[in-house]
C-alpha cells in the first residue's frame, strides 16, 4: 500500500513535452504615420459618434446576431471540454449493485453436491475506481491544451463581437451616406428639370435647337436613374443591417451624415505593442499554446501507462445478510501497459503534433503581421481621407459657381447648352464625391478602431 501511495505522489512530477514560451516577432516599435491627437478611445468606441440609434444597433448586433450566439455556444462547448480534461486527472468512482438468481445443471461432471441447492441467489453492492497515474504528465498536458482551447474560443467570441460592431457601424454609415446622396440627386433632378424647362422655352421661341431639349431630357433621365440606383442600394443596406442586428423589421431613422462627429485621432508614435490586445492575436496564441501542450500528450504515449484499480463492497447469498459481518469484499491492483511494437505510429503522432505547433506558430506570426498592416493601412486611410475633404470641398464650391455661371450665360445666350450639361455633371459628381469621402472617413475610423482591437486607451 505504501508503494501505491509513493507512486501516486510521483504522478505528475514528470511532464513530457516543451513548456510554452511566447515567440519573438520582429515588428517596428511604432506604427507609421503622422496623425496627432491625445484623446484616448474607450472599448465601446462606437459611442464616440454620439448617435443613440447607432448605439442601439450595435447593442442589438452584439446580443441578437446569429454569429455571436454561435460563438457563445462554442465557448460553452470548450468550457465543458476543459472540465472533462481536468476531471480526467482524478479518480472515477463507480457504484454498482446486482441481484442474480441462477440454477446449475445436474448433468455435469462432477455432479453438484446434494447439500448444495441447484438454484442459488447472489446479491452484491460495490464501489470501484480506476485511476491512471499521470506519471508522464499526459493528463496534465491534455488539461493544459483544453484550457488553452477554451481561451481561444473566448477570444474568438470577442473577435466576432468586435467585427459585428464594426460591420454594423459601417453599414449604418453607408445607409446615412446613401441617404445624403439621395438628397444630392433630388437637388440635381430639380436643377435638370429647370434646365429642361429653360431649354424648351428657348427652343419654342426659336432661340435654341431641339438638340438642347433632347440633351436636357437625357440629363434628367440620367439623374433619375442615379436616384433609383441609390434608393436600391439604401434598401439593400437596410436589409443587411436588419440581418446584422437580428431585427428583420428594422427601419433606419432619418439622420444627417454630417451630423455624426469624427472620433479623435490617435496620438503620434502609437506603439505596435497595442496589437497584443487584439482578440484574434490572443486567440492565435492560445491555439499555439494548445498545440504546444499536445506535443507532451503525444510524447507521453511513448511510455508505459500505469493504472491503479480498487473496489470495495459486500456480497451475500441472502439479501438480509448483505450488510452483515463477513460479507465484505475488496480488491486492489496495479497495472502497467507499455508499447512494444506499433510500427512507428506513436512517433508519427509526435511528429504530427510538432507539425501542428509549427502551423500554429506560423498562423500566430501571420496574424500579428496582418494586424500591423491593417493598422498601418487604416492610419494612412484616415489621414488621407481627412486631407481630401478640404480638397473636395474646394472642388464642390468651384463646381457650384461654375454651374451657376453657366446657367446665367446660357439664359443670356452667351454659351451653348453643352456647357450647362458639363457643369451639371461636374457639380453632381463633386457633391457625391464630397458625401462619399465623409462616409469613407467614418468607415476608415471604424477600420482603425477594429484593427487596434477596439481603440488605443490602456
What is the DSSP-derived secondary structure letter of residue 249?
T
Q: Is residue 112 part of a domain?
A: yes
**Calpha distance 219→217 (Å, rounded):** 5
User: What's the pLDDT at 414?
Assistant: 85
The CATH number of whichever domain residue 406 belongs to comes to 1.20.1600.10
**Calpha distance 384→378 (Å, rounded):** 10
Q: What mean pLDDT do residues 312-319 have? A: 88
Q: Is residue 5 part of a domain?
A: no
Structural domains of the chain, count: 2
Q: 167-176, 330-339, 391-400: which range is least confident on average?
A: 330-339
297 burial (CB, 10 Å; 0-12 / 13-18 / 19+) is buried
Claim to verify: residue 232 and residue 282 sit in the same structural domain: yes
Claim to verify: residue 356 and residue 267 sit in the same structural domain: yes
Claim to verify: residue 237 and residue 268 sit in the same structural domain: yes
CA angle 156-280-449, nearest 5°?
110
Claim to verify: residue 331 and residue 292 sit in the same structural domain: no
**Calpha distance 28→32 (Å, rounded):** 9
Claim to verify: residue 313 and residue 360 sit in the same structural domain: no
Instruction: Band the pLDDT of 269: cuts 50, 70, 90.
Output: low
How far from the centroid of its chain's Cα atoms is residue 361's Cα?
19
**Calpha distance 339→17 (Å, rounded):** 19
**Calpha distance 176→428 (Å, rounded):** 18
Cβ(123)–Cβ(99) below 8 Å? yes
Claim to verify: residue 333 and residue 411 sit in the same structural domain: no
Show which of 293, 315, 337 is a domain's final residue.
Answer: 337
442: cell is 467614418
Q: What mean pLDDT do residues 388-406 have? A: 94
Claim to verify: residue 272 and residue 375 sit in the same structural domain: yes
Q: Is residue 419 part of a domain?
A: yes
**Calpha distance 230→424 (Å, rounded):** 18
pLDDT digits (tens, 9 = 90+) for 244-254: 999 988 898 88
Instruction: Band the pLDDT of 337: cuts 50, 70, 90.
Output: confident
The neighbour count for residue 114, using CB atoms within 10 Å, is 6
User: What's the pLDDT at 7?
Assistant: 42
Claim to verify: residue 233 and residue 358 sit in the same structural domain: yes
What is the DSSP-derived secondary structure letter of residue 315?
E
User: What's the pLDDT at 33?
Assistant: 58
Show which of 337, 353, 384 is a domain's final residue.
Answer: 337
User: What's the pLDDT at 458?
Assistant: 47
Claim to verify: residue 222 and residue 365 sit in the same structural domain: yes
Claim to verify: residue 392 and residue 404 sit in the same structural domain: yes
Claim to verify: residue 313 and residue 210 sit in the same structural domain: no
Show which of 337, 357, 391 is a domain's final residue.
Answer: 337
406-410 long-range contacts (CB < 8 A, ≥24 apart) are 407/195, 407/198, 410/198
User: What's the pLDDT at 1?
Assistant: 41
What is the DSSP-derived secondary structure letter of residue 248?
T
For residues 157-182, one letter each, b for 16 or more C-beta atoms within 10 angstroms of the residue's C-beta and e for the rest, the string is bbbbbbbbbbbbbbbbbbbbbbbbbb
Among residues 190, 208, 191, which one has the least CA distance to residue 199? 208
For residue 388, give the H/E element and its range.
helix 345-411
Does the pLDDT at position 452 exceed 60? yes
Structural domain boundaries enclosing 106: 93-133+306-337
Does the pLDDT at position 294 exceed 90? yes
Q: Is residue 325 part of a domain?
A: yes
**Calpha distance 127→108 (Å, rounded):** 35
Does the pLDDT at position 439 exceed 60? yes
User: What's the pLDDT at 167?
Assistant: 94
What is the full DSSP assignment across 310-342?
EEEEEEESSGGGTTSTT-EEEEEEEEEE--S--
The CA-atom distances, in angstroms, between 444 and each of 10, 336, 448 are: 58, 63, 6
User: What's the pLDDT at 290?
Assistant: 94
Does the pLDDT at position 211 exceed 60? yes
Q: Is residue 287 part of a domain?
A: yes
pLDDT digits (tens, 9 = 90+) for 107-148: 888 887 777 787 888 889 999 988 888 888 888 999 999 999
Higher-pLDDT residue of 2 and 452 is 452
Q: Is residue 457 part of a domain?
A: no
Q: Can you tell me whether residue 191 is helix, strand or coil? A: helix
Cβ(250)–Cβ(202) below 8 Å? no
Q: Can you tell me whether residue 135 is helix, strand or coil? A: coil
Q: Is residue 10 part of a domain?
A: no
User: What's the pLDDT at 31?
Assistant: 66
For residue 417, give the H/E element and its range.
helix 417-451
Claim to verify: residue 187 and residue 234 sit in the same structural domain: yes
The CATH number of whichever domain residue 117 belongs to comes to 2.20.200.10
**Calpha distance 237→245 (Å, rounded):** 12
Q: Is residue 7 part of a domain?
A: no
pLDDT digits (tens, 9 = 90+) for 1-53: 444 344 444 444 567 888 888 887 776 766 665 544 445 566 788 998 999 99
The runs of H, that is alpha helices, within 205-245 are: 210-245
**Calpha distance 199→212 (Å, rounded):** 6
Higher-pLDDT residue of 317 and 238 is 238
pLDDT digits (tens, 9 = 90+) for 345-362: 999 999 999 999 999 999
Helices (H) and strands (E) in the chain, counts: 8, 4
Amino acid at each position: 500500500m505504501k508503494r501505491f501511495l509513493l507512486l501516486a505522489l510521483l504522478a505528475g512530477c514528470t511532464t513530457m513535452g516543451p513548456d510554452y514560451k511566447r515567440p519573438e516577432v520582429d515588428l517596428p516599435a511604432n506604427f507609421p504615420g503622422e496623425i496627432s491627437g491625445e484623446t484616448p478611445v474607450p472599448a465601446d468606441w462606437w459611442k464616440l459618434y454620439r448617435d443613440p440609434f447607432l448605439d442601439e444597433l450595435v447593442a442589438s448586433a452584439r446580443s441578437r446576431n446569429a454569429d455571436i450566439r454561435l460563438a457563445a455556444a462554442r465557448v460553452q462547448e470548450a468550457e465543458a471540454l476543459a472540465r472533462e480534461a481536468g476531471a480526467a486527472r482524478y479518480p472515477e468512482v463507480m457504484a454498482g449493485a446486482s441481484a442474480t438468481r441462477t440454477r446449475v445443471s445436474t448433468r455435469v461432471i462432477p455432479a453438484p453436491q446434494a447439500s448444495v441447492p441447484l438454484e442459488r441467489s447472489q446479491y452484491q453492492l460495490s464501489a470501484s475506481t480506476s485511476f491512471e497515474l499521470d506519471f508522464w504528465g499526459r493528463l496534465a498536458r491534455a488539461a493544459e491544451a483544453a484550457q488553452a482551447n477554451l481561451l481561444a474560443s473566448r477570444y474568438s467570441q470577442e473577435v466576432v463581437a468586435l467585427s459585428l460592431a464594426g460591420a454594423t457601424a459601417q453599414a449604418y454609415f453607408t445607409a446615412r451616406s446613401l441617404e445624403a446622396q439621395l438628397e444630392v440627386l433630388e437637388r440635381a433632378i430639380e436643377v435638370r428639370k429647370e434646365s429642361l424647362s429653360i431649354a424648351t422655352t428657348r427652343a419654342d421661341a426659336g432661340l435654341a435647337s431641339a438638340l438642347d431639349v433632347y440633351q436636357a431630357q437625357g440629363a434628367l433621365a440620367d439623374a433619375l436613374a442615379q436616384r433609383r440606383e441609390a434608393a436600391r442600394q439604401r434598401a439593400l443596406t437596410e436589409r443587411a443591417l436588419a440581418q446584422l442586428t437580428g431585427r428583420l423589421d428594422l427601419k433606419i431613422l432619418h439622420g444627417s451624415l454630417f451630423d455624426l462627429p469624427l472620433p479623435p485621432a490617435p496620438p503620434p508614435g502609437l506603439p505596435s505593442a497595442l496589437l497584443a490586445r487584439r482578440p484574434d492575436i490572443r486567440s492565435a496564441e492560445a491555439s499555439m499554446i494548445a498545440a504546444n501542450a499536445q506535443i507532451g500528450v503525444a510524447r507521453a504515449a511513448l511510455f508505459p501507462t500505469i493504472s491503479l484499480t480498487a473496489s470495495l463492497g459486500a456480497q451475500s447469498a441472502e439479501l438480509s445478510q448483505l450488510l452483515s459481518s463477513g460479507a465484505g469484499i475488496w480488491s486492489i491492483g496495479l497495472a502497467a501497459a507499455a508499447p512494444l511494437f506499433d510500427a512507428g505510429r506513436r512517433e508519427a503522432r509526435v511528429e504530427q503534433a510538432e507539425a501542428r505547433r509549427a502551423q500554429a506558430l506560423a498562423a500566430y506570426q501571420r496574424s500579428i503581421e496582418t494586424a500591423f498592416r491593417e493598422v498601418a493601412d487604416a492610419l494612412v486611410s484616415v489621414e488621407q481621407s481627412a486631407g481630401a475633404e478640404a480638397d473636395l470641398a474646394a472642388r464642390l464650391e468651384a463646381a457650384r459657381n461654375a454651374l451657376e455661371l453657366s446657367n446665367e450665360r446660357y439664359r443670356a445666350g452667351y454659351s451653348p447648352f453643352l456647357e450647362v450639361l458639363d457643369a451639371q455633371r461636374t457639380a453632381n459628381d463633386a457633391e457625391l464625391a464630397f458625401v462619399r469621402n465623409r462616409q469613407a472617413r467614418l468607415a476608415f475610423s471604424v477600420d482603425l478602431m477594429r484593427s487596434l482591437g477596439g481603440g488605443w486607451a490602456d
